[in-house]
Structure 1
Amino acid sequence: MSNGLLLAGNVFINRFDDTGAKTGFIGPINVTKLAVNTPSEEKTRISKQKQSRGQALDTVVTAKPTELEIAMDDAPADILAMALLGEVSTVNIGSGNSSDETVNLPAHGRWVKLLKSNLGAEGLSAKLASDDSVIDVVADIEVNYAAGLVRATPSGTLAAGASIKLSYDFNATAANLMRGGLKPQVVCEILLEGTNLTNGKAATLSIPKASLAPSAAVDFMADEFVSTALKGTAVLAAGETAPFSYSEHSA
């Protein structure tokens, strides 16, 4: 029977909240790297005596914190939140309309953000704020309906900029909102449930508690699939005898 180690596995991550409570496992996550390093530190007492100068009189090796690295190319909101030290909330905005929203159009074809996004393609109208005269929305303004942006057309009557009143419909929106840069670290539990492909045995890697931080930037415009990376240390959790454990079993 082969004794090599080549794993295929499902990884689950259970993030802790600010009170130390577990929030529940997410996954399985496609993890491209899950590396564990167990470094040590050597302390040596060196002789300064005439006959033995430079020789070791005593050497003591002590363990250092277990180091972890994890990289993932799945990118749901919860994973991005960990990679960007953020948190996730659910956003539900009902459909509706905005009537006579005052918009100050910049000159030189620059965009301005409306109060709402995901605008409806029909029912948009505009008028000058100064006298309520109707504006030709086809000739004089351009709208990015998805982003909720509007600008004066370069060749229209408002090219030099103007204050207008804009009325429009907006569609309902449901989203997972990730707000980044809010947390100093990610504290989580990591569980790998897998198979050693060299011998067919079931394998489990358990890291009950880890303190991690991003180790690489998240490139939202990468040419390849976006990958996120975290590194840090395994913490000896309360009630545990080791910072991590690995097991193989045939049943």
Structure 2
Amino acid sequence: MNSIPLLSLVFLSLVLLSSPSRASDIVNLSADNFDSVVDGSKFVFVKFFAPWCGHCKAMAPAWDQLATALKEETDVVIADVDATIERDLGTRFEVRGYPTLKFFRKGSKDAEAYQFGRNVEALLEFVNKEAGTFRMPDGSLSPDAGPPEWMLEAFAAARTCTGGSVECKDALAKARGTEGPSAEDDPAGAVLADFFVKFVGKFIDEGKSPAPLKKESERLSRILSGGSVDPAKKGVMSKKNLILVKLLETLEGGGRPAEEEDDDEKDEL
């Protein structure tokens, strides 16, 4: 009589045990992989924790959300070290309590102690400031994200360039080469720089018309709003669109070419 319910419970237990848990975006570090991850090639934010630590358990959801919010940032790693197992790492980085947070900058292997808030907003504000990212807690890009200063200056120069198309595009390429990131030092930044040069070049070719910028921005917006974007490509596409949006805002009155600003300053003097 009780065999059917018993079999059902056994089956349910097997299903629950075999169901995969949600994959975490946190990188687990150990003595075997620590130095290969914290090698100076990326920004790495590390939490040293103990499984029994109440404070560690309390901040775990915020740490997990931080990792998920930043998962599309190729230059940022959010990591965990179980210091009760990796005792040598705990000693090496002077871990005396839990959780202990250490930040490693790109280009350095030296640890910096983090001593600010432990909610996701404070953690994300810190990473955004130090790593130059613009992520919101839900992983979307902040409205403050946009082209770096060299792009804005190059675009202002393109707008006021009085030479022919070839001459103006040569000046644009020169600005990209001298001010923009290299593919070796910043692959993600180099992709955006090449995108910028391509579409500002079209802007120049079409008589400084905003049409090519608008057309590409509308295309990217449609793709991003479609909901079927490959997560690995979504971040780059969002950044490309933000560059175009900021350039269009400049054309529509959000900013003036550099030469016009200089003239105004001279008039005031």
Superposition TM-score, scaled by structure 1 size: 0.20
Which of structures 1 and 2 has the bigger CA Rg? 1
Superposition TM-score, scaled by structure 2 size: 0.19
The structure carrying a bigger helix percent of its residues is: 2
The structure carrying a bigger strand percent of its residues is: 1
Query: Which of structures 1 and 2 has the larger relative contact order (alpha carbons within 8 angstroms, sep 6+)?
Result: 1
